[in-house]
Each structure stands twice: as structure tokens, then as C-alpha cells.
Amino acid sequence: MELRTLRYFVTVAEELHFGRAASRLHMSQPPLSRAIQRLEGEVGAPLFDRSPAGVALTSVGTVLLDEARALLDQADRVRVRVAAAAGTAGITVGILGDATDTGATRLAAAYRREHPDADIRIRDTDLTDPTCGLRAGSVDVALTRAPFDGTALAVRELRADPVGVVLRADDPLARRDHLRLADLADRRWFQFPPGSDPAWQAYWNGGKPREGPVVRVVQECLQAVLWNGTIGIAPLGHDLPEHLAVVPLVDMAPSRVVLAWNEGDTNPLIRSFVRIATAVYRSTAS
Amino acid sequence: MELRTLRYFVTVAEELHFGRAASRLHMSQPPLSRAIQRLEGEVGAPLFDRSPAGVALTSVGTVLLDEARALLDQADRVRVRVAAAAGTAGITVGILGDATDTGATRLAAAYRREHPDADIRIRDTDLTDPTCGLRAGSVDVALTRAPFDGTALAVRELRADPVGVVLRADDPLARRDHLRLADLADRRWFQFPPGSDPAWQAYWNGGKPREGPVVRVVQECLQAVLWNGTIGIAPLGHDLPEHLAVVPLVDMAPSRVVLAWNEGDTNPLIRSFVRIATAVYRSTAS
DNA sequence: CTGTGACGATACCCGCCGGGTATCGGGAGC
DNA sequence: GCTCCCGATACCCGGCGGGTATCGTCACAG
């Protein structure tokens, strides 16, 4: 009953699907099936009911799921504490310009409480790079928004925000109580600087290539709305200057707030951070 | 940082000697050294100071030792709880005739408290077989006394009792406040039945082959003292009938109360039982 | 009723890692 | 200086954890 096996088990128990669990674990399905079979042999009882309708936890599996999660969490804490003793405990968190919100502050507090002796370095980044410098290694974990190229990154979704169109308050469309992308077809959209993540650009452009002035950061984006009359897309719920208005966009996919980190990173604080964040955001009424 | 590696680490930390730790782990020394080196690489700091004077824990090692012990204990509890859920939790404890004492009752209570839903089957055995039927499989763990042939058994010492000579109260030696083996050279000693463990017989005979009536159990042993005038050896601190006296034997090795179990046994309750017993006996003022 | 797709299990292969033995190196002590 | 002790290193081997290909079974569509 090694920790690795338990991680496999927990993943399968969460997915209730061997194939998906295997891909989450970056392995193929057969070895995962075998590992679970071995674990069931060790435990002496089946952990899953494999019926054609799908995979379900047995009662023993339910017990093991709780226990295994607790054990794995404790194992993470062990790693963190030892790293703290070795003086190597600390992470750099990259935060996308507008991802800061009440969830982030609660996350910071909870993390501080659990790891009072580990360093936290915060790096605020602009909207140009949704990975906040993850790939360059300047950041260990990014609190950011999807979508972006996730190659070699692990991503955990925390929340999804509906989005709206930011308009000048005197724009005729500003009086509508909701809009569709088609309503904006003839507007000028801003452009991200060249080299920006294509998936990222595509999302904020409503899925199509658009034309318009090139902007770099949130503030410039808002300025562009004001001065250039472009369209701005933003998650709802943000305060805006009063001469700007935001109208819900009903046919655009919500903006997903996510955590991302480099897949192979062994810094134990990352896993811990992700766990805490998941719990905090789950308990935060969206 | 798998559990197996942590077990290795804890063993080395307890022994502070790679060779001894390796033999306790039933492996050779080089793979153990490598495993520890890998662990140190993972942690990012040395865990031991290897000086020619000996091996010592570093400060990081001390932290990891505490954490690893706690984690391994929890892992054991996980296994027990899952076994309980699977309905396969239970152990048979063999208790040597005279090993019952206050320690054993506290042990039973503590065990019951930690594993309320696991079966405990108790099997009282006579003094003939110090392993209480471990090898035959009729018992999972034996609360008994050393020494005995420990091949394929794991043994954990709990306590050492000084021993004394049991004599008829009217024996001239009974007035002495202590005795040596030499004082008993011309006495008749009882014999264990043929086939009894040689190390066991040798111990209770003071290290030499002796002659005398063959006895089987404690009661018969005391009867032999009374009726046959043999010598009896017994741990101090037991109540005896008033027509018998016990005089401390100052040059005989104390009798070690030990737990023993079959080395390869995977029943998770065994490890848990051993851990609880160790804690209980350590806190029991001998 | 049969073709097809989904999904977990099975069969089989390979590289690596966790075991082993033999030996080295260096410090302590007679 | 020789020897002993003890951890580290070198090197080898079998098994296990990974992989791919395929099967068996069930659900569903037509």
C-alpha cells in the first residue's frame, strides 16, 4: 500500500472512469487497472463495482477514499514541514492582473495559516501571459484564467465567471440587459500583442480573429474602450469606472479561474497550495 | 517519498547504524544506503551526519523522523480501518501463562480504544512453548518472554523483569536477601518437556543443562518446588503462596517480556498492536 | 438482430529500479 | 602500519511498473 498506489486509487475514485483517471495520471489505462487490482488484493476486498453502466465505489472503497485522502494530505504536509526545516520551503505565486478577488484573499489567509513558516512570493503579471511566467520558471503556480496552451502544465479549475462586454456608458448597446456575440460583429476588438497565447487570444476575441488596436494590460484595455471605441470583454462582478458599462454576454463561455503549475514540479508546497485553493473556492459561494 | 522508503529511514534513524538497520529490514546494507541517499536527494538536505565516529541525525532528519513516524502510524491505521470495513480485521493474541500483568491489561484497554471494531481473540498458553503457537499460525502475535528461537519471527522487547529463585519458605536459602547461581549449584532444577525450545530451556536453567523432574506449566512448576524440592525461577513481583518465598538472583539475566510475530505477516493489526504495546509499556513505570 | 462504439480486462513486451554480491576508502585502535 | 569497522561505490540480475495491441462485454442505433 504505497502512496503512489493510493494516489492512483483516489484519482480513479474521483473520476469513476479508468480511462480518464489514467490520462489525469499521465499513464495508460492497463497499468492503472492492474495497480487497482493489486490494491484490491492487498485490501482483500473489491474497491470498485465495475458494471457496464459504469464504475462505482464499494463501501470498502468509500472508506479507503476518505482514509487515503487524509493520508496523502498528511504526506504532503510532511514534505512541506521537512522542506521548511531544510530551509527550502517557499513558492512563487503568479497572479493574473484581474484574478485577484475575495477568493484569492481567503486563499492567502488559509495558506498562511497552514504553512506559517514557508515563504510566499507573489508576482503580479499583466494579461499578456496567462501562465504568468510558469514555463520560464519565474513562478511556481499561477492563479489565472483559462484557456491557454496547457502542454506540460497541470491545471485545476477553481471557478467560472460569466463574462460581459465592457462598453462606453453612452454606447447604444449599453442599455441592453444582455448581448450576444453577433451583436458585436461590427465592432472593433482589441488585439493582444503578437506572440500571445493563441487559445488565450481566441477566447477573449469570442472565438474569431478580430482587428483593432493592440493593447497590453487591463488598464490599457479599458482605455482602449474609452478612447478607441473597441469592445472589451471582462468577467462580470468587477467594479468599473462609471463612464463604462458592462453588459452580460449570454453566448460566450464563462471565464474559468484556474490554478496552473508545471507538471513535473516536485515542490511539495504546490500540491498543498492547490489543495487549499480547491477547498477555499469550493466553500466560497461563487 | 514512498512509505517503504520512510520505513527504511525510520529504521536507520532508530539504529543509527546502516548495517544493523539493514539486517532489521532483512536486506543488505548497500541498497539501504542508496535508498537513504535518494531520500536525501528528494528532501534536498542530508538526513544523517556520517562521521567515522558514527551516524547521527541532522536537524532536518529529526524533523523527518517525527513526521515519518506519524505518517507511518496513520498508514497503519488506514489499513486497519479498511480491513475493518472489509470485515477482515482481527488478530489472535497468544499470551504466555505468566506474562499477564498490569501492562497487559492496559495494553488491552488501549488497543480496544483504538480499534473498537476489530476482533481480538486471546489464547492463553502454558510455559512449554514461548512462541504460543506463532509458527503453527494459531496465533498472530505473542505476548511472551524471551529467549527463544527467533528464526522468521520479529521480536520487540517491552520490559525486562529481574528474576528470583522460588523456594519453600522453610528453605535455609529463603532467608538470604539475594542469591547467585553458584548458590544453587547442588539443587535440583525442573526440566521442560522434551522438544521445548532449547534457548528457552537454557535460560530458565541458568545457562546449563540441569536435572530434575519434568514439568509443564507454571502451576506444576510451583508444585515441583513444594513437593520435589526443586528450584524454580520466576520474575520478581508476582504474588506467591505464603509457603513459598522468592529471593532475587543477582547474576542471572533479567527476563525480557517481548512481543513476537511472524515476520512476513501482513495483518495490519499486528503492527498497530506492537506500536500500542510499545507505547503502553514505555509509559508504564516498570 | 447486428454493427459499432465505449470501456475495462488481458496478453505480452521492455526498461528501470530495487534488490543482491564484491569491493573500495577512510578513520580508529591495537 | 596493519587490521577492523562501516558506509559508499561498482556492477549485476530479476521483477515490477510502465508501455501497446487486443479482447470481451454491454449499450445503443439503425
DSSP assignment of B148-163 equals S--TTEEEEEEEEE-E
Phi, psi of B142 (to 5 degrees): -115, 130
Q: What is the DSSP string of A212-226?
A: S-B--SHHHHHHIII
Total domains, chain B: 3
Q: Which chain B residues have a beta carbon less than 8 Å from that of A78?
A: 1, 64, 67-68, 70-71
Among A35, A53, A83, give the residue marking a domain's end.
A83
Cα radius of gyration rounded to whole Å, chain B: 22
Dist CA B78 CA A208 (whole Å): 52
User: Does A151 map to a domain?
Assistant: no
Cell 471565464, residue located? A255
Residues A62, A27 within the same domain: yes
Residues A32, A99 within the same domain: no
Q: Strand C: which nucleotides have any atom within 7 A of a protein Cβ?
A: 7-12, 18-22, 26-28
Among candidates A45, A64, A83 on the partner chain, residue whose Cβ is nearest the Cβ of B44: A83
Q: Is the dihedral of CA B133, A40, B116, B282 positive or negative?
A: positive
Pick from B47, B14, B74, B43: nearest CA to A3: B74
Residues B169, B244 within the same domain: yes
Residues B129, B242 within the same domain: no
User: Does A178 map to a domain?
Assistant: yes
Q: What is the mean pLDDT of residues A181-185?
A: 83
Among B83, B112, B138, give the residue marking a domain's end.
B83
Whether the CB-CB separation of A221 and A188 falls below 8 Å is answered with no
Dist CA B91 CA B258 (whole Å): 17
**Nearest nucleotide (C1') to the CA of residue A31?**
D18
Beta bridge partners of A145: A257
Measure A34 CA to C10 C1' (Å): 10
> Which of B78, B81, B117, B269 best probes binding to A when mutated, by most A CB atoms within 10 angstroms?
B78
Question: Grid coordinates standing for B223?
Answer: 508444585
**Lowest-pLDDT range, A132-136, A138-142, A147-151, B212-216?**
B212-216
Dist CA A20 CA B241 (whole Å): 72
The answer to whether the CB atoms of A70 and B68 lie below 8 A apart is: no
- Report the CATH number at residue A65: 1.10.10.10
Question: Grid coordinates standing for B253?
Answer: 539475566
Q: What is the mean pLDDT of residues A173-190?
A: 83
Residues of chain A with pLDDT > 70: what percent? 91
First to last CA, chain A: 38
Q: What is the mean pLDDT of residues A23-49?
A: 86
Residue A69 is predicted with a pLDDT of: 92
Residues B155, B264 within the same domain: yes
User: Does A148 map to a domain?
Assistant: no
Q: What is the extent of the structural domain holding B18?
A: 3-83
Residues B142, B278 within the same domain: yes
Question: Grid coordinates standing for A92?
Answer: 512563487
Residue B191 is predicted with a pLDDT of: 76
Q: Residue A26: left (phi > 0), alpha (psi -120 to 50), or beta?
A: left
Each residue's pLDDT expressed in tens, for chain B with a length of 286 residues: 889 889 999 988 888 888 888 888 888 888 888 888 888 888 888 888 887 778 888 888 889 999 999 999 899 888 888 888 887 778 888 888 665 566 777 888 888 888 877 778 887 777 777 888 888 777 888 888 878 887 778 888 888 888 888 888 888 888 888 888 888 878 878 777 777 788 888 888 777 777 776 665 555 666 666 666 677 788 887 777 777 888 888 888 888 888 888 877 778 888 888 888 888 887 765 4
In chain A, positions 19-48 with C-beta closer than 7 Å to nucleic chain C are 19, 29-30, 33-34, 36-37
Residues of chain A with pLDDT > 90: what percent? 5
Q: Which chain B residues have a beta carbon less than 8 Å from that of A59?
A: 85
Residues B107, B58 within the same domain: no
Dist CA B131 CA B35 (whole Å): 34
Residues B171, B236 within the same domain: yes
Give the closest residue to D10 (Cα–C1′): B30
User: Does A65 map to a domain?
Assistant: yes
Buried b (16+ CB within 10 A) or exposed e, B98-121: bbebebbebbbebbeeebeebeee
The answer to whether the CB atoms of B88 and A2 lie below 8 A apart is: no
Residues B189, B115 within the same domain: no
CA dihedral (B156, B158, B162, B164) in degrees, to 10, reads -80
Q: Which chain A residues have a beta carbon less than 8 Å from that of B4?
A: 2
Of A13 and B237, the structure prediction assigns the larger pLDDT to A13
* Angle of the A268-283 helix axis to the A102-114 helix axis, nearest 10: 130
Distance from CA of B64 to the nearest CA of A (A): 6
Residues A68, A208 within the same domain: no
Of B266 and A246, the structure prediction assigns the larger pLDDT to A246
Whether the CB-CB separation of B246 and B167 falls below 8 Å is answered with yes
Residue B90 is predicted with a pLDDT of: 80
Q: Strand D: which nucleotides have any atom within 7 A of a protein Cβ?
A: 6-11, 17-21, 25-27
Q: What is the helix, strand, coil percentage profile of chain A, to 5? A: 40, 25, 35
User: Does A153 map to a domain?
Assistant: no
* Confidence class for position A70, pLDDT limits 50, 70, 90: very high
Residues B141, B32 within the same domain: no
Q: What is the mean pLDDT of residues A6-11?
A: 90
Among A66, A83, A100, give the residue marking a domain's end.
A83
Residues A139, A218 within the same domain: no
In the β-sheet with A141-145, what is the strand arrangement from edge to edge? A119-125, A90-96, A141-145, A255-262, A153-161
pLDDT digits (tens, 9 = 90+) for A198-224: 888 888 877 777 777 666 555 666 666
User: Does A197 map to a domain?
Assistant: yes
Dist CA A191 CA A211 (whole Å): 7
User: Does A157 map to a domain?
Assistant: no
Q: Which chain A residues have a beta carbon less than 8 Å from that of B2?
A: 2-4
- Report the CATH number at residue B133: 3.40.190.10
